[in-house]
Amino acid sequence: MKRFFKGIAALLMLVSLAPSASAATFKDAGTFSKEIDYLTNAGIIMGFPDGTFRPDLPIKRVDAVRMIMRELDEPLGQSPNPNFKDMPVGSKGYDEVAKAVELGIISGKPGNIFDPNGNLTRAEMATVLVRTYNLSGIYPKGFTDVSLQYWGYPYISSLAANNITIGYKDGTFKPTLTISRAHFAAFMTRIIEPSFQPDNPEVADTYLEALYDVNAIDYDMDPAKPIIYVLDGATNEVAAINYETYEVISSLDLPLPAERIAYANNKIYVTQQKRAHSHYWFDKDQEGAFAVVDAATLKIEKSIQINLDPYDIEADDKGVVYISSGSGQHTRVESFNSQTGALLSSQGIYEQGLIELNPSQNKLYTISTGLSPRDFGAYSITEGVLGPETDSPYHGEYALGKDLTLSPDGKYIFNSTGHIFRASAGAASDMTYFAKLDRPYSSIAFDTEYGELYTSNNQKYIQAYDYQTMDAIGQMTTYGNVKKMFYDQNSDTLLAFTTVYLGKSTVPFTGLEVVYFDTEE
């Protein structure tokens, strides 16, 4: 791979960055002596004057904060007074605690105290480390003694998602247990030096950043903003998800049943069904609509009635909308002016054909979903007007799934069986066979800058390929079965919507899992 995702990078560091033995070993360091050595060499641990570390003693709250401040190397002495009753100015650790409060790492206890000599619990340890190092992620397996309602759940889950803790062998975390000096040192070391992290097959290569109670049946991505639009089949809503904050920033209840959405030029276009699809709902009686939605506000600007049962939808940057019919067997694909509602063109298509607009927006590709063997074809586009269908040169030679995806550069047509065809303006080479991936897939995403593509077949892993050779080059594990993937070139992240279960629950959630890539300079 031309760059490493963070999970692989951490694994390689196990060999390249593992510290050598230190002469500073405390005579009583014990099980975590290497981690304690590492922190000692970094000037984070001082030990006791008699040369001991006393690893089994509980770590005091103030000592934990002092260790963290030494590692962060933040300037001390200028922070506002947190006014804890039990930490007057000049007391041991005052400057470190004041700085930690200023940074939002700690907040004290009820009664405006800090309890500096109190023992730190494992839940409090998780909280302070997650806040200090801005750790995120959800560990879906969880721990049997940490419920979703427990105050420390988000912090403990994030600590586990980053492979800092694996809990106890019995599946517990023991959040209220006092943490020892050695264990705190071990957890802290695992964060700042990943080569110390344990081997835990339950931790995926992705970060599960959010969970949503939606039944997503279609998606589209805003090319300029960190937003993915999701059509929820359970509630018949369109929701806008900010994939940087993971918030659902707005949603829209649709007046009629919807199956597909398409984004173009700050608008979302949504199919609106008036009846169920049927082989026997023929052209002369068909009716339906499509909604034009302002993407910024998720408000319907207009609903345009059409004499077509809408199945799939595409739209270009000029506001031309392309819709295939879901009924009537040998039926129509049509283009519309979304401003006036005027019908611009109509061509023949078999019912329930999926359509895909090429990046240049001058050709519309289609694939049948109800026929066997399946066939695909293309329509030229001139000023929003569809030309007659050009059939593919093949009919049954290659197995085809109910899927058609154009690569972002417009060079190739990908099918979920793994077959790849050329997409070309030249009639002679358009839709001709090019290559085949080593396995089928149900979702695909492209990284055009680094020349890679990613697939998954509704399983708990993502396969990476070299875009030039189409050779498999690596795999990444996920927490849930992958439903849909997007690549965000701006942040260099791979986004995967997955079906995830928490613990032993049988209730499915839609998870947003992220792969963060470390690019080579």
451-502: pLDDT as tens digits: 999 999 999 999 999 999 999 999 999 999 999 999 999 999 999 999 999 9
Per-residue confidence (pLDDT) for residue 54, from 0 to 100 = 92
Per-residue confidence (pLDDT) for residue 427, from 0 to 100 = 73
DSSP state of 283: G
Mean pLDDT within 80-97: 96
Q: Give the whole-angstrom CA distance, residue 480 versus residue 465.
A: 21
Confidence tier at 429 by pLDDT (50, 70, 90): confident
Are 300 and 285 in contact by the 8 Å Cβ rule? The answer is no
User: Is the Cα torsion angle 124, 129, 132, 134 positive or negative in sign?
Assistant: negative
Confidence tier at 334 by pLDDT (50, 70, 90): very high
pLDDT, averaged across the chain: 93
Q: What percent of the chain has pLDDT over 70?
A: 94
Per-residue confidence (pLDDT) for residue 424, from 0 to 100 = 85
Walk across the sheet containing 452-456 and list its strands: 443-447, 452-456, 461-466, 472-477
Mean pLDDT within 323-350: 97
Confidence tier at 383 by pLDDT (50, 70, 90): very high
Per-residue confidence (pLDDT) for residue 7, from 0 to 100 = 54
Local structure of 268: helix, strand or coil: strand
Are 37 and 21 in contact by the 8 Å Cβ rule? The answer is yes
Q: Give the whole-angstrom CA distance, residue 5 versus residue 131.
A: 23
C-alpha distance from residue 189 to each of 7, 37, 43, 122, 260 (Å):
17, 10, 13, 16, 48
How open is the CA angle 456-460-465, to the nearest 5 degrees?
A: 35
Per-residue confidence (pLDDT) for residue 5, from 0 to 100 = 56
Q: What percent of the chain has pLDDT over 90?
A: 88
Q: Give the whole-angstrom CA distance, residue 457 versus residue 483.
A: 8
Confidence tier at 46 by pLDDT (50, 70, 90): confident
Per-residue confidence (pLDDT) for residue 49, from 0 to 100 = 87
Bridge partner list, 363: 380
User: Looking at 125-247, which runs of residues are DSSP E strands?
Assistant: 207-212, 216-221, 227-232, 237-242
Q: Give the whole-angstrom CA distance, residue 277 versus residue 428.
A: 36
Element housing 98 (H / E): helix 94-102
At residue 387, φ and ψ (nearest 5 deg) are -85, 175
Walk across the sheet containing 330-337 and list its strands: 310-315, 320-325, 330-337, 343-350
The one-letter code for the residue type at 342 is A
Mean pLDDT within 107-122: 95
Contacts 24+ apart (CB under 8 A), 417-420: 420/470
Q: Give the whole-angstrom CA distance, residue 38 versus residue 20.
A: 9
Confidence tier at 99 by pLDDT (50, 70, 90): very high
Per-residue confidence (pLDDT) for residue 21, from 0 to 100 = 36
Element housing 123 (H / E): helix 122-133
